[in-house]
Structure 1
């Protein structure tokens, strides 16, 4: 019985004894030196350390990238928020600007309607109207105001619709009538403009003359200047230098005397011009900016003796004129509209002059 138990234990231990015998005779590490094992182990440790370092660096890069991405998103969000605020501010300002423009347009139209109503009350309905692409021209007879003559109210759509024309486009010339200037330029309205003098059988403009932005004469600066700037607005007064002309952006201009109104206030009439009746050519603009042209006949018994500049000042204020100037008068005064001369020049016919103001339809 005991023998059987030994045999049974021997069978159980046989596999274990076989393994010991195998490794004892065929140890796979027996051929490796202890130094090689250490070196291999160190390489494995270094490689693992490198992997851990790379993983750490990658984690750092990932963290920084995530941080930068977060900051970038915050910046973009801030910029977007500011952009939205700026856009809202812009739209709000644009809306306010549109409201101002609309209010200004309504105010201007209301002012124009009030002036039209005023003129209709004082002078009756226009005797002629031209609604052109470049301008609107309304012409009135001055008979209801007690004068023989005509007045025009002009609204420019195009600042280039108003021109100062030299006679035959020459500084020294034989002169040109107002109707000739109007017809050769295709104008619907025209009046004579600046003064002139005669030398050696030729006519020359006096003072300052500007044609299409070019100063073509610059003589006596003591004479008042009357012109139109790049926007077609009436400008003028006492001009002493070429620089002033450039600063005022004058495109068209001529000279005569005196100034009648400034900002609705009467200006002093020099003694040589005071309280004398003559045919007159006047220019100005209404309180709403529309241009004003006026010619009064004179020196014709039984028809009209003319008007004094003092009387003209009072009448202009009644017409709601803000700024006004006296142009060359006497036999030069001519009012041309829609193909013909409406007034009666004092000499019985038009006088040849050196400059005329024309308005395109």
Structure 2
């Protein structure tokens, strides 16, 4: 009978409300989808289609070449891990783009990397920063500012990609999202940490993302020279491929001459799409399959 006295009733109600609020918060973060803005599809315009057709592409299983874009993909073994290295040269930084899953900005709006890549006629694509899994952090995609709140883990830094194609590591505590737009940033990737800065490895052998395991599937992007980029994706979490540490990933990028390089979302998200198919072995919940993600980085018209 004492339970029904006011103090106990209030305590019980408070406990129920607290539990309900936490449950909703977790659902909103990881499960519930919320579309905030629909963006214009980045499918090629008639002019872009004409340019691509006129480029007369030559393709093989490991290469793509036309008048504006050259991609060569090499598969190597490094630290008991299968690693895919895409060397990318373009005539203009306009061919380095991002795309949102389902052409929609929002929370938990996802699609497989291959689906978003195909919808945007990508030649090469890699999973992005999975902005949609977070409630904070700047989001700038193809010159559009979608979110301007500072990320909770801002110490990891962001990769700013400018209209001239250059890369720079920035920290959200130091500059506003609008200031980045005003400076000419067209794409911002907010995962991290930075792997290479000024040609030097920026992580140590113990650096890791949150509570992640040391050896993981990984995705990273870097710049070698003007209009010359590199994307590295590693398999992992299988008997055939152990996975890389961040330091090992940085070593691979440095060996190919990357001046600036940045860690993208990894683990089950790590996916490399090239010439119409996924070429690595993404792992999701112990099986070889793609994880749906909120965004991609791609090369295309």
State whether TM-score is above 0.5.
yes
1:208 to 135, 138, 142: 138
Query: Larger relative contact order (C-alpha < 8 A, sep ≥ 6)?
Result: 2
Deviation at 1:247, TM superposition (A): 4.5
Equivalence for 2:114: 179
Matched with 2:70 is 136
The number of residues matched between the two structures is: 230
Higher Cα Rg, which structure:
1
**Structure 1's 205 and 284: CA in aligned 2 closer, same or farther, altered over 3 A?**
farther
2: CA distance, partners of 1:162 / 1:135:
10
Task: Give 1:275 shift.
Answer: 7.8
Return the match for 1:260 from 175, 179, 195. Answer: 195
Change over 3 Å in CA distance of 1:134–1:216 after alignment to 2: farther
Structure 1 segments unaligned to the other structure (5+ residues)? 1-125, 199-203
Cα RMSD (Å): 2.4
Instruction: Give yes or no for contact 2:166–2:226 (8 Å, CA) kept in 1.
Output: no
User: Where do residues 1-361 of structure 1 align in structure 2 (5 Å cutoff)?
Assistant: 128-143=62-77, 147-172=81-106, 173-196=108-131, 198=133, 207-221=137-151, 222=154, 223-239=156-172, 240-269=175-204, 271-273=207-209, 276-287=214-225, 290-300=228-238, 302-347=239-284, 348-360=288-300
1:339 to partner: Cα distance: 0.5
In structure 2, the CA distance between the partners of 1:353 and 1:331, relative to structure 1 (3 Å rule), is same
Question: How far apart are 1:340 and its partner, in Å?
Answer: 0.3
CA distance in 2, matches of 1:338, 1:167: 19
Deviation at 1:257, TM superposition (A): 1.6
TM-score scaled to structure 2, two decimals? 0.69
Structure 2 SS opposite 1:245: helix
Q: Which runs of 5+ in 2 are unaligned?
A: 1-59
Taking the aligned partners of 1:354 and 1:205, their CA distance within structure 2 comes to 13
Q: 1:67-100: per-residue Cα shift (whole Å, max 9, x none)?
A: xxxxxxxxxxxxxxxxxxxxxxxxxxxxxxxxxx
Where does residue 37 of structure 1 map in the other structure? Answer: none
CA contact (8 A) 1:205 1:355 kept: no
With the length of structure 1 as denominator, give the TM-score of the two structures.
0.58
Residue 179 to residue 297, structure 1, CA distance change in 2 (3 Å): same
SS at match of 2:110: coil
Q: Provide the C-alpha distance between the structure 1 equivalents of 2:62 and 2:135, rounded to a whole number of angstroms.
A: 31
Q: Which moved more, 1:326-335 or 1:266-275?
A: 266-275
